[in-house]
Amino acid sequence: MHDLLQRLQRRAEQRLPALTRYRRPESLPIELHRRRIYILPTGFGLGFSVLLLVMLVGALNYSNNAALLLTCLLGAASAASMLVAFRSLDGLRLDHVRAGHAIAGEAMELVLAFHSRRPRSAIRLDLADGTAAFALDGREAIEVKLHLPTHRRGWQPLPRLRLWSTWPLGLFRAWSWLHPDQAVLVWPRPEAAGPAPQAMVDDARHMRLHRGEELAALRDYRAGDPQRHIAWKASARHDDLLVKDFEQPRSQPQWRLDWRRLHGMDDEARIARLARWLNEAQSQRCSYSLWLPGNDIGSGSGPLHYARCMDALAGLP
C-alpha cells in the first residue's frame, strides 16, 4: 500500500510539473509565498464537514432558523480558519541552515533559522521521521533543531523538508516544501578495533621541559598577563613591569598519522583506521598531524584541529 502510494506520487510529480516546481534545491534564504503553499482539509476537517452537513440538514428539516444560523456561523468560521492556516505559513523565511558534526550512521543535528515579521504559532517541520514544532514571536529569528539521519561519510545534500501547520483549528493542513541547496559533511565511522599507531616520533625532543613551571625568562608586561605572574622584585629595578615567562608543558607525545603507511588496505578501511586513531589521539590529548593525499595537516590538538582532520578524512574521494 505504502509503495503503491509512493509510486503514484512519483508518477504525479512527473506528470504535473507544477507540483514539483518548488521542490528543486534552492539557495537560501527561502521565503514562502502563495505559489508554494498548498492547503487540504485534514481527516478531522473532513469529519467536521460531515458534522456540519448533518447539522445543516437537521436545521433545514426542522426548519429551525436559529440552528441554521449557528450552523452557518460554525461553517463560516471553519472556512475562515483555512485562510488563517495559509497565513501562518505565508511570508515565513528560512534564513540559514547550520549543521553539527556526526559520524556516518548517527543522526546529525541541523539548526534551521527561521524569521518572520509577524507572530506565528504551531508551525511544524518534518525531516525524515522527526517533527519539530515551533512558534515565532514576530521579532526575533528562531532556531529549530532537527536530527538528520546519515548513512555514509562524505557530502550529503540536505533532503527536502516539509513545513506544515494545522493552525488554528486543525481542520486544514497548509504545507510547503523546502529544499535548501546545501550539503552537510558526514564524518567517517571509525573502525571498532585495530592496532595502535606504530610510528611515534621520538619523544625526547618534546620533553625538554615539563610541568611548565620552570621559569624560562623575564619579559615585558603585556596587557592581559595574569597578575600573579608579574615579577614584582625584578620590576622594582626597572621602569616597566616584568613578567615571568613559563615554558609551555609538552608532556604528551606527538603522533604522526600518515595515509601512506597503511599499506595493503582499501581506502575506506584506511579512512576508518585513521578516524579511530584521530579519536584516540583526541581522547589522550595528544598532539598529532595527519597526512592525506593532497592534504597535509600540520601538528596540532584541540577540537578545532580534530574537526579539521575529520573533515579532511570525510572529504576524501
Partner 1 sequence: MSLARTRKTPLVAVGQRSFDLLSLSVAFVLAVNAAHLPWWLSLALAFTLGWRWWQRRQRSGRVPAWIKLPLLALLTLAVVVQYGNLFGRAPGTALAIGLLTLKLLETETRRDVRVGAGFACFTLMTALLFDQGLVSTVVVALGLLPTLATLRALEPAQPSTGMRRALLPELTLLAAALPLALLAFLLVPRLSAPLWGAPARDQARTGLSDRMSPGAFTELLIDDSPAMRITFDGSPPPPDQRYFRAFVMARYDGVSWSYRDAPGAPPVALDVTHAVDYQIRLLPTHRRVLPTLDVPMAAPPDAAMRRDRVVIAARPVDGALTYALRSATEYRLEPRLDADRRRWLQLPTGFNPRTLALGQAWRQHYGNDDAAIVRAGLALFHDGGFRYTLAPAPLGRDAMDDFLFDTREGFCEHYSSAFTVLMRAAGIPARVVTGYQGGYWNKLGNYLLVRNSDAHAWSEVWLAGRGWVRVDPTAAVRPERVSLGAAAAAGDQLGWYRSDWLQGFRNRWDVVNRWWDQGVVAFDALRQRALLTPFGIRDTDTTTLGLLLAIGSTLFIALGLAWALRRRQPREPLRNAWRELEHKLARRHIVRRVGEGPQHYLSRAARALPTQREELVELMKQYLDLRYAHDEPTPESVHAFRRAVRDFRVVNVVK
User: In the sheet that 254-258 helps form, which strands lie side by side, from edge to edge?
Assistant: 254-258, 287-292, 295-300
User: What is the enclosing helix (H) or strand (E) of 122?
Assistant: strand 120-127
Rank residues 8 and 269 by Cβ distance to partner 1 and give the closer one.
8
Q: What is the DSSP pairing of strand 254-258 with strand 287-292?
A: parallel
- Residue closer to partner 1, measured from CB, 136 or 278: 136
Q: Find cell 564524518 and name the residue.
A: 187
Where is 66: in which H helix or E strand?
Answer: helix 65-89
Q: Name 110's bridge partners.
A: 99, 146
C-alpha 299: how far from its chain's center?
29
Collect all residues with Cβ–Cβ distance below 8 Å to 214 and sequence separation of at least 6.
Answer: 246, 247
Q: Which is nearer to partner 1, 34 or 233 (CB)?
A: 34
Q: How far apart are CA 166 and CA 308, in angstroms?
A: 43
Which C-beta is closer to partner 1: that of 81 or that of 282? 81
What single-letter amino acid sits at 167?
W
Residue 225 has φ and ψ, to the nearest 5°, of: -70, 140
Give the Cα separation of 112 and 13 in Å (integer): 27
C-alpha–C-alpha distance, residues 164 and 155, integer Å: 27
Which residues 6+ apart lie within 8 Å of 72 measured at CB? none
Residues of this chain that bind partner 1 (CB under 8 A):
2, 5-6, 8-9, 12, 19, 34, 40, 44, 47-48, 51, 54-77, 79-81, 83-84, 86-87, 90-91, 117-119, 121-124, 133-135, 137, 162, 166-171, 173, 175
d(CA 295, CA 97): 27
Identify which of residues 75 and 315 has a Cβ nearer to partner 1 in the complex. Answer: 75
Q: How far is the CB of 90 from partner 1 (least distance, A)?
A: 7
Of the pair 68, 107, the CB lying nearest partner 1 is at 68
Rg (CA), the chain: 31
C-alpha 307/C-alpha 313 separation (Å) is: 10
Cβ proximity to partner 1, 114 vs 277, nearer residue? 114
Distance between CA atoms of residues 98 and 68, nearest Å: 53
Closer by beta carbon to partner 1, 84 or else 307: 84
